[in-house]
Structure 1
Amino acid sequence: MTSPGQHMAAEIAEQPAVLAGLVERHAEFAEAAARIAARPPRFALLAARGSSDHAAIYAKYLIEVLLGLPAGLVSPSTVTLYGARPDLRDVLLISVSQSGGSPDLVEFTTTARKQGALTVAVTNTPTSPLAAAAELAVGIGAGTERAVAATKTYSATLLALYLLVDAVRGGDGSTAAELGPLAERALEVPVQRAIDRYRFADRIITTARGYSYATALEAALKLAETSYLATRAYSAADLLHGPVAAVDAETAVLAVTGAGRGGAAMQDVLAAVAERGADVLALGSACEEVPAALRIPVPPVAEELAPVLEALPVQRLALGLALARGGDPDSPRGLRKVTKTR
């Protein structure tokens, strides 16, 4: 018999080794990048669901900032439900799925390939229907994940997307060389005070800007699916465009504040939520520089890689809160490991 959260805890702990192993596979990403460079795209599209959708949003920032290409997220239902057949010549489609089994992503990828796109699958299941449907497939190599909540597959997907984009721009992956040891340090950061403080919270807002917006989205999902908390993620810019009016002293705000331009742009929203008496938990490599009730520091790294490390204490926080609230994050109600949509 397993204890509550046993699988999730074990898989969180595996991440330093998983990330280090990915960095060592740079040659595989370079090979895929060469295929992409041989067919230079006009722009990129990303298809994903769930946690993978947050990884895709991270990839959108990578592609637009590091490659200078416009990028967007697709709506698979335009093809699967409405039968659209867009002209995708000279377009790069990256489909992201841990399982590679969601029918809508497989169908969209198949259609995109027929419509002229160069299709790339990023998945943890190299033998999946999605990998078969795409022209190129990149495995994230995280190994079997038994917990329902994605942990090691999420961080590995982020790193795989970074290594792919970095290789396309001619990088050698050296920026990510120390991620394994840095991940070990990130997992050692204490989160118990935050667990004790927020175990009775009714609602939590997560917010960030730039690359770390993906972290805010993933944090909201992890807290909702494991602890059943009412969560909502916002870009810090969007939070100021109206939703901040709902923030008060009963609101907990998890603000991702890393070093770099995205973290620096958090100052206005932090000032606004502080005026309304919100209880702020700052997480990130620059968390000591902002006003907050509690802080969870993350080891500093290049801004474009920060979300890989930020995800780790978020996962530990979600695990701890789920257990403190009497739940089992390995068996969240109403959820399965693979969700199939069309």
Structure 2
Amino acid sequence: MRAEIAEQPGVLGAAVERRGALAPVAGRVRGFAPRFALFAARGSSDHAALYAKYLTEVLLGLPSGLVSPSTTTLYGARPDLSGVLHVTVSQSGGSPDLVEATRSARERGALTVAVTNTPGSPLAEVAELSVDIGAGPELAVAATKTYSATLLALYLLVDAVRGGTGADVADLGELAASALAGSEGPVAEAVTRLRFVDRVVTTGRGYSSATAAEAALKLAETSYLSARSYSGADLLHGPVAAVGADTAVLAFTSAGRGGAAMEPVLAAVREAGADVVAVGSAAAEVPAAVRVGVPRTAEEVAPILEVLPAQRLALELSLARGGNPDRPRGLNKVTQTR
């Protein structure tokens, strides 16, 4: 896991250089002129799909939603998907439910796109179009480089559809290297504070809500913590009542509208006595016990950098608690669900 976290600057930089390969897929999407978009995924890829939902609605102005594959695989639902863009996100491309849902969507009129790290996978074969994440083999069970590379692939696809030039991610590899280098000390401090904690709440708003969800999963997978993720807005709609001095809060707050909207959230959890670790390009500006900064970018790009310190925190916290983050108990690299 440590080695694969360290590979990410190179992986991201190389993906930016290959962005031209997305032009044919983006052209097909533009020509199809979808009436709305649906995203299907599981696990970490589901958090990447949430990120893509924000990208699609904000940057393309296209209504979007997250698919429940079981409506097709378990209940046999067959809605009319004519005029729908159906994007399936899967690092392995091998989960039977995602393959079946994609095949069914294509049969019912959707333009289907597979976003996967395995170009020859069953998912890539059943989808009409395919985007290669290009992260290379990932050996650790917990996804790190495949997750960040998936975020970037989705961003580059949406940017290409809108006719963008990729300017906001041109130096992403260098920024990722800076984010990792700058996080070492603050993450070590956070590990010291959180080593014996049992309950963690992760939170963010807007694009960063995807990072919060992924961070909770990483902490649960590698440190076996009871980690729950909430959007900042949802946290204030009730769950904040369960936050207290025995709760650690990992808050993602980067420059932009989402980060600004986290101000009342952070005020509420601090008042409740929670130990707050803030991560993001605006972390230095918020009340927190530990602040982990990352370089400032366009708000829609921030989740690609925010997740890097969260991955390092999951790794180091697992080791500090006596775990093996490369081989979490009861987990396999590819999960077969239907």
Q: Please give the TM-score of this superposition, normalised by the length of structure 1.
A: 0.97
Matches within 5 A, 1:1-342: 8-188=1-181, 189-190=183-184, 191-342=187-338
3-state DSSP of counterpart to 2:32: coil
Q: Tell me the alpha carbon deviations over residues 15-71 of structure 1, each in whole angstroms, 9 at most, x when there is no partner.
A: 001001110111111221001111100000000000000000000000000000000
CA distance in structure 1 between the partners assigned to 2:297 and 2:160 by the alignment: 19
| SS of alignment partner, residue 210 of structure 1 | coil
Structure 1 range deviating more: 103-112 or 189-198 = 189-198
Q: Does the 8 A contact of 1:26 with 1:172 survive in 2?
A: no
Aligned AA for 1:96? Answer: V
| CA shift for structure 1 position 183 | 0.3
1:159 CA displacement:
0.2
Q: Could you tell me how far apart the structure 1 residues matched to 2:250 and 2:326 are?
A: 23
Q: TM-score normalised to the size of structure 2?
A: 0.99
Instruction: Give the whole-Å Cα distance in 1 for the aligned partners of 2:23 and 2:256.
Output: 27
Q: CA separation in 2, counterparts of 1:330 and 1:159?
A: 24
Paired with 2:259 and 2:168, the residues of 1 have a C-alpha distance of 20
Unaligned runs of 5+ residues in structure 1 are 1-7
What is the CA-CA distance between 1:175 and the residue it aligns to? 1.3
What amino acid does structure 2 have at the position aligned with 1:292? A
Deviations 1:166-213 (A, max 9, x none): 000000112110100000001112211111110111100000000000
Q: What CA distance in whole angstroms lies between the structure 1 residues aligned with 2:285 and 2:62?
A: 33
Aligned partners of 1:73, 1:212: CA distance in 2, in Å? 17
Instruction: Find the aligned partners of 2:30 and 2:302 in 1 and give their Cα distance.
Output: 26
In 2: Cα distance, 1:310 partner to 1:257 partner:
9
Deviates more, 1:107-116 or 1:190-199: 190-199
Shift of 1:117: 0.1
Runs of 4+ deviating beyond 4 Å: none
Alignment RMSD: 0.5
Please give the secondary structure, in 2, of the residue aligned with 1:38: helix
Alpha-carbon distance in 1 for matches of 2:19, 2:177: 21
Aligned letter for 1:245? A
SS at structure 1 position matched to 2:265: helix
Letter in 2 for 1:324: A
Asked whether the equivalents of residues 122 and 137 of structure 1 are also in contact (C-alpha less than 8 Å), the reply is yes
Partner Cα distance (2:87, 2:177) in 1: 29
Amino acid across the alignment from 1:231: A
